[in-house]
Chains A and B, each alone.
Chain A
């Protein structure tokens, strides 16, 4: 193996083992951010030693033993400061005995610990971006460099976010707490929000050259699956899972060979991933069984399901989509939901009715500089034959779009609106 291959092999094992390492060490030191530091030390040790000594036969057990040894060292140092010397030997012996058998590592049920880990990383006290970075690092096992690359930010920015977030947790005494009972549902929304943020960052990259970054989508999907398996009675976790699976099912149809976006109604539906659609529909059914049909994520998933189930764009049930948006707007009123409703209304009832909604939104200060509002308005004007106005809206939208691919698409639409028919 070359050094590079070994490096990748180390990271591969690391990603698989890391949640178990961190939960196991957290149980020893009763401090999640500290446990994360200690497991990182085990990773560094592996990166140092495996290229020289070769990958051990049981790499997971090696990492676990190393991480636990670091944790014991830490506990000893801490106790050394606190207690008299003669007590230490006895403590150390007791600790050795309390160390679980490494070969039975599979026996650990990490469900509860993992839940604690997720709730700590996604604590509502932390800013959303910091929660996302911590979750990717502590639960998905991504390195700081990988997170930085995924978010197109400098390493230093991400490193700083992580350090600050950990400090906030330590200073607030939130390093090892588990919500119980009703608190779980309340805190879960903070977790779901982060998972969806990560997904969307990958699904429609807010900035940069590429419109989609599948790695982030996959990590978010994985986090979602972790949540549904360790919190199996939370309907909104299934709702979010359904929303993400159904949206992700279109990933290979959403861009052409050169990476330009293709809008949903123009996509080749044969490229939609039926396996993923099935999984999404199952998750949605589960959310409904748990009584969560009216949840924010379940409603959005139901909307996407309307698309997923239409064999052709023509067969899309726009009145149902429009009704679902109306329902969504009552529980989560937002100008963005209203804008989406306008699109559905335009398909169900025609562009005139939709334009009335959009024109109301044009006065909403929250949507000032929101390129999608102008893009939708341009589309409606285009359908109404008001080509000159349509072109102006597309151009204005293009100048506001942060993503290059999206900007190009809007410019093309502006050019097209101006092209064949001269507006009156």
Chain B
């Protein structure tokens, strides 16, 4: 099953060097294990834009935005046998944040692809 992991947090700063290093090692291991297919971190929402439809009207909203509570900071695409493995994998990823970025709060949402 293919899963997308979406990491959301209200902490908008860059990760600590320790966390970054640990995440890179984890990613390297997961690539070598054939499970991690793709991943990426996103620049802050301020630098992005939104194209939305409200009340039947299409409009482009360019930044700056008032930062929402939890913003998507990055994603990863995994190929795993099932949801249990996805939960175990996301737990390990979040444990790194807990250990190496004290005070950080956020959520790693995991969603199976529809196909």
| Chain A residues engaging chain B, CB cutoff 8 angstroms | 8-9, 11-13, 15-16, 19-20, 57-60, 106-107, 110-111, 114, 215, 218, 221-226, 229-230, 252, 271, 273, 275, 279
A218 near B92 with CB under 8 A, answer no
Q: How far is the CB of B72 from chain A (nearest CB, A)?
A: 20
Contact of B34 among A215, A229, A252 (CB under 8 A): A229
B29 near A221 with CB under 8 A, answer no
Q: Give the A-B pair count, Cβ closer than 8 A.
A: 61
Residues on B with beta carbons closer than 8 Å to the beta carbon of A16: 33, 35, 85, 88-89, 92
Residues on B with beta carbons closer than 8 Å to the beta carbon of A19: 33
Contact of A9 among B34, B81, B84, B115 (CB under 8 A): B84
Q: A15-B85, A110-B29, A225-B34 are in contact. List 15 more A-B contacts (CB 8 A).
A: A9-B84, A9-B88, A12-B87, A16-B35, A16-B89, A57-B95, A58-B95, A106-B22, A106-B25, A110-B32, A215-B81, A225-B31, A225-B35, A229-B32, A252-B115
A218 near B32 with CB under 8 A, answer no
B29 near A218 with CB under 8 A, answer no
- Closest residue of B by beta carbon distance from A220: B34
B34 near A224 with CB under 8 A, answer yes
- Closest residue of B by beta carbon distance from A223: B34
Q: How far is the CB of B79 from chain A (nearest CB, A)?
A: 7
Among A13, A16, A60, A229: residue with most chain B CB under 10 A? A16
Residues on B with beta carbons closer than 8 Å to the beta carbon of A20: 29
Residues on A with beta carbons closer than 8 Å to the beta carbon of B81: 12, 15, 215, 218
Contact of A106 among B2, B29, B115 (CB under 8 A): B29
The docked-state distance in angstroms from the alpha carbon of A218 to that of B35 is 10
The docked-state distance in angstroms from the alpha carbon of A25 to that of B81 is 25
Q: How far is the CB of A135 from chain B (nearest CB, A)?
A: 12
B37 at the interface (CB under 8 A from A): yes
B82 at the interface (CB under 8 A from A): yes
The docked-state distance in angstroms from the alpha carbon of A15 to that of B85 is 8
CB within 8 Å for A106 and B84 given contacts A221-B79, A222-B34: no
B76 at the interface (CB under 8 A from A): no
| Chain B residues engaging chain A, CB cutoff 8 angstroms | 2, 22, 25-26, 29, 31-35, 37, 79, 81-82, 84-85, 87-89, 92, 95, 115
B115 near A111 with CB under 8 A, answer no
A222 near B29 with CB under 8 A, answer no
A279 near B89 with CB under 8 A, answer no
The A interface, classified by DSSP as helix, strand, loop or mixed, is helix
Residues on B with beta carbons closer than 8 Å to the beta carbon of A114: 32
- Closest residue of A by beta carbon distance from B29: A106
A107 near B85 with CB under 8 A, answer no
A12 near B95 with CB under 8 A, answer no
The docked-state distance in angstroms from the alpha carbon of A15 to that of B87 is 12
B34 near A11 with CB under 8 A, answer no
Q: How far is the CB of B60 from chain A (nearest CB, A)?
A: 27
A12 near B84 with CB under 8 A, answer yes
Residues on A with beta carbons closer than 8 Å to the beta carbon of B89: 16
B88 near A279 with CB under 8 A, answer no
A273 near B34 with CB under 8 A, answer no
- Closest residue of B by beta carbon distance from A273: B115
The docked-state distance in angstroms from the alpha carbon of A110 to that of B2 is 24
Please name 7 pairs of A and B residues whose Cβ atoms are closer than 8 Å in the assembled complex, sorted by A. A11-B84, A12-B82, A110-B32, A222-B79, A225-B34, A229-B34, A273-B115
A226 near B32 with CB under 8 A, answer yes
The docked-state distance in angstroms from the alpha carbon of A26 to that of B85 is 24
The docked-state distance in angstroms from the alpha carbon of A229 to that of B22 is 19
Residues on A with beta carbons closer than 8 Å to the beta carbon of B79: 218, 221-222
Residues on B with beta carbons closer than 8 Å to the beta carbon of A226: 32-34
Among B25, B32, B82: residue with most chain A CB under 10 A? B32
The docked-state distance in angstroms from the alpha carbon of A393 to that of B27 is 53
The docked-state distance in angstroms from the alpha carbon of A221 to that of B29 is 17
The docked-state distance in angstroms from the alpha carbon of A226 to that of B79 is 13
Among A20, A106, A114, A252: residue with most chain B CB under 10 A? A106
Residues on B with beta carbons closer than 8 Å to the beta carbon of A15: 81, 85
The docked-state distance in angstroms from the alpha carbon of A60 to that of B29 is 13
- Closest residue of B by beta carbon distance from A11: B84
Q: How far is the CB of B5 from chain A (nearest CB, A)?
A: 14
